[in-house]
Amino acid sequence: VFDDAAAVKLATAMRSPTAKLKELRCSGHSISAVGAAALGRAAGASTTLEILDAGDATLGDDGAQALALCFRCPSFKQLHLEAKGIGDAGVVSLAAALSEGLDRLDLARNDVGEPGIVALGKALQARERPLRHLDVSGCLQARRVPVLAANVVSLRCADLAPGAFDCIDFAPGRKLFRLDVSNCGLDAASIKAIAEKASSLVELRYANNEEAGDAGAEAVAASDAPLDVIDASGTGISSRGAIALIGGGAASIFINDNAFGDDGVTAIAECIEAPFLADVDLRKPPPDESNLRTLGISKTGMTDTGAIALAAALARSAVETVEVGGNKIGDAGARALRAAEADRAARPAPGLDVAMLDDRRPQNN
């Protein structure tokens, strides 16, 4: 059992002149502020420690304040404090001690509210260089979360209460490259605000915001951001929104958990099909080449009819991976998709991987 006594013993060993510990992971073990203080002091005195993950849900504010001493270590880069029972006081303490060398801070599934979020946002803005990754997902008391976007490269703030991500406060920095706002109760106007303001994004995940709809998808597709990865799963889009996203030029698009049905899948298939040179009328301008390489289209109401249409398009497309799990695809549709894989394998172009095909829902007889 790794308890306070074990933490104190380990901390003593870490202070040895010969200690060269770089990574300490003792998460899931209950330690009080006493054990955390011992580890925090030892970590702060270290010159080699880079990663710390300690404690469980009983760590709390006092434990977080004690572990903040780790920021004194010049080599320290990552602090993982997911689900540690930390509230505003603990986060305020961490924010006050935040080091310039820190790259990653994980505070997911804690009890931090607006005071802690605001304090952390101010600390981040005061840094000379942006934090590489910040995770506050599942912090159900959080408010004004967009203030965290001003000086981070990657911000994960999924699974928040409605209103926690109010786009009025959203003023992202020029180096915000990745944003995950999945399941935050956002509507189309909010998604549009994100798409318009975050012009540096290469990855946007806004899955399970059911009110985003086609208007949200069209706003994302029209964004000036160089988006390469988009996750619009479970956002209430029709094939119209899906086609808009594909036309936006991203390489990886996930549109799972949207009720397209066979007609919608067929329409989507038509827009990913790339004509071969033999089919092109050279008297006309060449067709636009799609950048799409990965497509997630699981749980979309697809049956054999849609799968056969999709297979025909995939055989003549640049898509390299497609996820189709959770659909009612029968033997005929499965054969068509496997035939598309075989057809692509016989060509000099990149091959095709139809993923999750075995994860099919049984068809009703």
User: pLDDT digit of tens for each residue in the chain (365 aa)?
Assistant: 889 999 999 999 999 999 999 999 999 999 999 999 999 999 999 999 999 999 999 999 999 999 999 999 999 999 999 999 999 999 999 999 999 999 999 999 999 999 999 999 999 999 999 999 999 999 999 999 999 999 999 999 999 999 999 998 899 999 999 999 999 999 999 999 999 999 999 999 999 999 999 999 999 999 999 999 999 999 999 999 999 999 999 999 999 999 999 999 999 999 998 654 444 454 555 445 678 999 999 999 999 999 999 999 999 899 999 999 999 999 999 999 999 999 999 988 789 999 988 765 655 54
Cα dihedral 139→145→147→148 (10° resolution)? 40
Distances 49 to 41, 96, 115, 131, 283 between C-alpha atoms, Å: 12, 20, 30, 18, 65
Amino acid at 212: A
Rounded to two decimals, what is the model's pTM? 0.93
Q: What count of other Cβ atoms lies within 10 Å of the Cβ of residue 360?
A: 19
Instruction: Give me the residue label for tokens 């989507």.
Output: 268
* Of the candidates 118, 69, 57, 112, the residue with the CA atom closest to the CA atom of residue 90: 112
Amino acid at residue number 190: S
Given a contact cutoff of 8 angstroms between Cβ atoms, the answer to whether 297 and 268 are in contact is yes
Q: Within 10 Å of residue 226's Cβ, how many Cβ atoms?
A: 12
C-alpha to C-alpha distance for 52 and 220, rounded to whole angstroms: 37
